[in-house]
Amino acid sequence: MEIKTYLNNQRLAVEGALEGYMLAAGVENGLFAAHVEAMRYSLFAGGKRIRPILCLAAAEAVGTRPELDADLLPIACALECIHTYSLIHDDLPAMDNDDMRRGKPTNHKLYGEAGAILAGDGLLTWAFDLLSGEESGLPPEKRLAIIHLIARAAGSLGMVGGQLLDISNEHKEFPFETLRAIHRSKTGALIMASILAGGVAAGADQGQKEALRCYGEQVGLAFQIVDDLLNATSTTAQLGKAAGSDACRGKATYPAYFGIEATRQKAEAAVEEAESALISFDAKADPLRAIARYIITRSH
């Protein structure tokens, strides 16, 4: 399987669906046009769409029902909306105060702080609109389970809590376990929820859910380790956002604890564990396997 082609096709499917749902919601014009423009600016700014793609790939690994993708796309899109909201808020002056993201000015640089806060709020709320609305044909009990696991992952016990833990520990020394807790909640929780949501939608049994959980844990870890490595070793032009910003902000990172080479080995080990977690799955899990490999070779 050619992973680049697969990722590109899935990305286009997610982007097409996002466009379609936005048009159908009828929010493009009228009184709220400026707000929707700010939401659209970040939503279509060139993200990799890795969370929605993981969601679709996890469902593919578990089941082959042909209409599954159509049922799942609103859920995949909701995950991307939540991720985009988190980046808009993360870039705000009150948080990381970043001017550039994906090679473009950050949301608040164009729409002001209030506009960016509300663009993030709008995306987060729209995500739950998509999860609970008419767009998906999944049965209500599956939808409820998915909404619950995504809400848990995005909220105070997941991404929001992790962000606060991260910010409040800047310029402080703390044990490595705290760094793992920051990563697990700030970055890992939404990645895990994306994978489990796909599994639940496809009707994963207990054993399959457990395997997906192990895979998600390791892929989330690899993703964050690589993010730390890229921040430490790439240029701003390569990243499309400020390189070296972790060190400037006094953020603890894997390279700060272990050095670059040992950090690379840890990323490789996490990917190998992610692959092992899928041992009981057949070839339908090949996209999940390839995504795990892609994560440590990505350049931005």
Residues lying near ligand GRG in the complex (CB under 6 A): 47-48, 50, 86-87, 89-90, 102, 159-160, 163, 186-187, 224, 227
Structure-block tokens of residue 68 = 């599954």
For the bound state, the minimum distance from the C-beta of residue 68 to ligand GRG, rounded and expressed in Å, comes to 23
User: Please, which residue, 51 or 143, has the CB nearer to ligand GRG?
Assistant: 51
* Closer Cβ to ligand GRG, 249 or 284, answer by number: 249
Residue with nearest beta carbon to ligand GRG: 47
- Tell the smallest beta-carbon distance from residue 207 to ligand GRG (Å): 29
Nearer to ligand GRG, 86 or 136 (CB): 86
Smallest gap from residue 119 Cβ to ligand GRG (A): 13
Cβ of residue 129: shortest distance to ligand GRG, in angstroms? Answer: 19
In the bound state with ligand GRG, the residue whose beta carbon lies nearer, of 217 and 227, is 227
To ligand GRG, the closest distance from the beta carbon of 48 in angstroms equals 3
Identify which of residues 186 and 289 has a Cβ nearer to ligand GRG in the complex.
Answer: 186
Residue nearer to ligand GRG on the CB measure, 71 or 227: 227
Closest distance to ligand GRG from the beta carbon of 177 (Å): 19
